[in-house]
Amino acid sequence: MLQYPEKIDAIGVVDHADWKHPKRVAFEPKKFDDTDIDIKIECCGVCGSDIHAASGNWGDIPKPVVVGHEIIGTVVRKGPKCTSEFEIGQRVGVGAQCYSCLKCHRCQTDNESYCDKLVTTYGQFFDDGYCSKGGYASHIRVQEHFVIPIPDNIPSEYAGPLLCGGNTVFSPLIRNGCGPGKKVGILGIGGIGHMGLIFAKALGAEVYAISRNSKKKEDAFKLGADHFIATSEEPDWAEKYYDTLDLVIVCAGSLKDVDFEKLPKIMQIGGRIVSISVPEQSEQIVLKPFGLMGVSISNSHLGSIEEIKQLLKLVSEKNLRIWIQKYPINEANVNEVFERMEKGDVRYRYVFTDYDKEFN
pLDDT tens digits for 183-204?
Answer: 999 999 999 999 999 999 999 9
34 part of a folded domain: yes
> pLDDT tens digit string along 262-295?
999 999 999 999 999 876 666 777 777 766 779 9
CB 207 within 8 A of CB 226: yes
Same domain, 108 and 198: no
pTM of the predicted protein model: 0.95
pLDDT at 274: 96
- CA 136, CA 118: separation in Å to the nearest integer? 21
pLDDT at residue number 287: 74
Structural domain including 234 reads: 166-299
pLDDT below 50 — which residues of the chain?
A: 1
Q: At how many degrees (to 10) do helices 193-202 and 165-175 cross?
A: 40
Return d(Cα 228, Cα 185) in angstroms, integer.
9
Both 25 and 128 in one domain: the answer is: yes
Q: Which residues of 19-55 are buried (b: 16+ CB within 10 A; e: fewer)?
A: bbebeebebebbeeeebbbbbbbbbbbbbbbbbbbbb
* Domain endpoint, select from 248, 272, 299: 299
- β-pair partners for 266: none
> Are 181 and 159 in a shared domain?
no
CB atoms within 10 A of CB 239: 11
What one-letter code names the amino acid at 103? K
Q: Tally Cβ neighbours within 10 Å of residue 124.
A: 15
Strands annotated E in 251-333: 267-275, 296-299, 324-328
DSSP assignment, residue 274? E
Question: Is residue 75 a contact partner of residue 89, using CB atoms and an 8 Å limit?
Answer: yes
79 with 28, same domain: the answer is yes
Q: Is residue 64 part of a domain?
A: yes
Q: Which amino acid is at 312?
A: L
> What's the total number of domains in the chain?
2
Asked whether 37 and 86 are in contact (CB, 8 A), the reply is yes
Q: Are residues 232 and 267 in the same domain?
A: yes
